[in-house]
Amino acid sequence: MDASQIFQGEPDNYDGVTVTITEPMDASKIFQGEPDNYDGVTVTIAEPMDAAVFTEKLRASLSHWRQEGKKGIWINLPIRFANLVEAAEGFRYHHAEPDYLMLVSWIPNTRDTIPANASHVVGVGALVLNKNTGEVLVVQEKSGYFRNKNVWKLPTGVVNEGEDICDGVAREVEEETGIVADFVEVLSFRQSHKAFLNKKSDLFFLCALTPRSYEIIEQKSEILEAKWMPIKKIRRPAIEPEPRDVQVHGKYLPEEV
């Protein structure tokens, strides 16, 4: 018998056979997504769509993905299509960027293991030491908790997305003071919680740098003054930092005696 001319069934333990009749899914009726390594799928919406059509197509897609054993379903929704958020039944916000929203849904009846949105910001502080003179680069800021308090501090900042710590700390030094410096090493780091928007945690890295230039050019928008301070004049601050400000900016600050 030609096997192509008969149904292929699944035998059971009672001399029976179960035949499942399936029809191929019409690809035009479901979203085409990019699979990942965790049995998930990411769909990027690239063109305008009526909300009702979107909902119907999403329902068909979810049914298809369940049959395939998919788990986390992600929808990359450009801001211009934000009208479709409400139509994405069963999805929740995961994160947002300037040009898109990311929605997500865990579709199997198992524990949801989708990771949370980015939980930390990364801050850096720069100990720029001129070994020839025994001086350290310090600044006074125009804004923030220490404004108008005559407190000197090390240059600090936040690492940009995709930027290495060593590059970020050197960039911050040059932006704030005009000093070009080379990263040497990480001296210490600490973690604090509810440091940003009273929710995100903060990882702060104190780094040592060696200067290649010495002429200071302050960043007028943020820095009131910058200077080279003899290391012997640096001590722990007489003014106690406000705790959250310390967490956000990593300010264990020197103050001139």
**Which sequence spans correspond to the domains of the chain?**
29-106, 120-256
pLDDT digits (tens, 9 = 90+) for 16-50: 777 665 555 566 789 999 999 989 999 999 999 99
Count helices and strands in the chain by DSSP H and E runs: 3, 15
236 DSSP 8-state letter: S
pLDDT digits (tens, 9 = 90+) for 179-227: 999 999 999 999 988 877 677 888 999 999 999 999 999 998 889 999 9
Residues 6+ apart with CB under 8 A from 215: 178, 179
Nearest one of 24, 21, 124, 114 to 75, comparing CA atoms: 114
CATH architecture of 120-256: Alpha-Beta Complex (3.90)
pLDDT digits (tens, 9 = 90+) for 84-134: 999 999 999 999 989 999 999 999 999 999 988 888 889 999 999 999 999
120-256 and 29-106 share a CATH fold:
no
144 three-state secondary structure: coil
Judge whether 202 and 121 are in contact, CB under 8 Å. yes
CA distances from 29 to 42, 45, 63, 90 (A): 17, 14, 11, 19
Indicate the helix (H) or strand (E) that contains 77. Answer: strand 72-78
CATH superfamily membership of 29-106: Gcn5-related N-acetyltransferase (GNAT) (3.40.630.30)
pTM of the model: 0.67
